[in-house]
Structure 1
Amino acid sequence: MKKLLYIILLLLSITTYSQSKGIFSKNPILNLENFDKQRVHWGYFLGFNIYDFKIDYLDTPDVDIAVKRNTGFNVGLVGNLRLHEYIDLRFEPGLYYSQRNLTYSGFTKKLDAEREVRSTYIDFPLLVKFSSLRTGNIRPYLVGGVSATLNLASNSKSIDDNYQQRFRVKPWTQNYQIGFGVDLYLEYFKFSPSIRGVFGLNDELIRDNNPNSPWTGNIKSMQSRGIFVNFTFH
């Protein structure tokens, strides 16, 4: 809730600043009028994420595995290649910290029932940005594409498994992403708040050594999905 409050306060601050510069006025003075005509430009982003797991089962369980989501932090770079007046190709490598807590039913001990899944992702997305016609100092856009993600905290090389309280996932995953945002042309830079969904394409789970494990034996596939809220500065 605190991080969500920070996001709201940041957006309010940007909106107030934008209004003071006439961005939302009827006939604003155009800022950075030739910015989008650059063939290549660079930027960086900061933001927040909420990751979840989509879990499919071999047999329908009495009680699903409960996934508690936590708010994580994003930071990364942006490289933008102009392909057309309304189409750009973007590469946005970033570092994403997240945490999910899994709770299994059927255990009497908390040590067995709960698994804390911390992830440190390096994401390599290749995206296509479709922009609308610029109106004053505002330009909405849609963005989508694919990404490959390396999880530095996957525990994939560990020989221990859930019997030793070690939850393991694969180090590399593939995803598709889709979202929307808006470019705000301020006096000295372009600010772009956006929201994006990310959806895993492959099964991430590494099964326990025992095929009948109560933690992994009944799982057909486990895929990450999440929401990114990014604030990009160009």
Structure 2
Amino acid sequence: MYNLLRQKNRQLNRWAAGLLLLIASQQQVSAQLRDYLNLPDHDSKKYYLGIGLIYNNARFQVSQHPSFLSNDSVMVVEPENTGGFGLAGMHTLRLSPRFEIRAIFPQLLFAYKNLTYHIKYPDPSKDETAIMSKKVESFLLGIPIHLKFRSDRIGNFRVYMFGGGKIEYDLASNSTARKAEDLVKLKKFDYGVEAGVGFNFYFPVFILSPEIKISNGLGNIHSRDPDLKYSSAIDKLNSRMIIFSLIFEG
């Protein structure tokens, strides 16, 4: 009986030692994982800042005016995809472990949205050819606001999705004073919707977030001039952009 009790005590001692060893090893692994994680306390921040470097690919969505069918000069109006660049400040407020709200201000975009006209009767005296390409430049000051949904953090990596709206002011637009040879006049204000996806890569001193989004303007930004044959052929112009950003946050 005495030997049986001694054996049971030895087994209990072994189990206790094994349990203590397991707890100690888990604590050591947790400490090692914490040491492995870059910026482990970042998710506890309520508010943080960032800066974004932007490349944009912009174009118009063109709606023809009813008078286009009776136009005997302009046969086709085609939008072109054109690249641009920009800079943005990021302001992010954490609502919960899953959701954040982000305001991008200021967002400055240099965008070029060109139009190609196919002319039936080009006028050589005005240096017209059968195909005329007109460059429309914009310097946009925008304020997009997004709601972000974040995945769980996997080591030093995370995925997020977002959607929201924007308002924009074209600093280069002057619809009442553009020269006639510019042919296309743009309004100053636009508004629209945006949606995209991004990826957080955690480094020791900052977070790098490549991000891609689609930005569609909902307003008609064309200031139509019926006295200009190139402008009179167009009814509405809506902005379309694909924006790729490299965001640095800390």
* TM surpasses 0.5: yes
Query: For 1:200 and 1:165, how far apart are their aligned partners in 2?
Result: 22
RMSD, matched Cα? 2.3
Task: Give the Å deviation of 1:28.
Answer: 9.0
Distance 1:229 1:198, change over 3 A: same
Question: How far does residue 216 in structure 1 lie from its aligned partner after superposition?
Answer: 2.4
Segments of 5+ residues of structure 2 without an aligned counterpart are 1-33
Instruction: Compute the displacement of 1:159 (Å).
Output: 6.1
- The answer to which structure has the higher helix fraction is 2
Label 1:134 to 1:63 Cα distance change in 2 as closer, same or farther (>3 A): farther
Corresponding residue for residue 164 of structure 2 = 145
Is 2:44 aligned against 1:37?
yes
Which residue of 1 is the match for residue 87 of structure 2?
75
Residues 187, 84 of structure 1: alpha-carbon distance in 2 compared, 3 angstrom cutoff: same
Deviation track 1:54-101 (CA, whole Å, cap 9, x = no partner) reads: 111234768531222221111010000011111001011211011122
Deviation, 1:30, is: 1.0
- Distance, in Å, in 2 between the alignment partners of 1:47 and 1:218 is 33
Q: Which of residues 229, 234, 250 is equivalent to 1:214? A: 229
Instruction: State which structure, 1 or 2, has the greater radius of gyration over its C-alpha atoms.
Output: 2
In percent, how many aligned pairs have the same letter? 27
The question of whether the paired residues in 2 share the 8 Å contact of 1:155 and 1:167 is answered with no
Provide TM-score, normalisation by structure 1.
0.80
Is it true that 1:52 corresponds to 2:71 in the alignment? no
The TM-score, its normalising length taken from structure 2, stands at 0.75
Give the AA of the match of 2:92.
N
Instruction: Give the alignment of 1:127-166 within 5 angstroms.
Output: 127-158=146-177, 160-161=179-180, 164-166=181-183
- Equivalent pairs, count: 205
Matched, 1:86 2:98: yes
Which whole-Å CA distance do the structure 1 matches of 2:75 and 2:97 have between them?
52
**What pairs with 1:1-234 in structure 2 (closer than 5 Å)?**
29-59=36-66, 63-93=75-105, 94-106=107-119, 107-108=121-122, 109=124, 111-112=127-128, 113-158=132-177, 160-161=179-180, 164-210=181-227, 213-234=228-249
The more displaced of 103-112 and 130-139 is: 103-112
Q: Whole-Å Cα distance in 1 between the matches of residues 169 and 161 of structure 2? A: 25
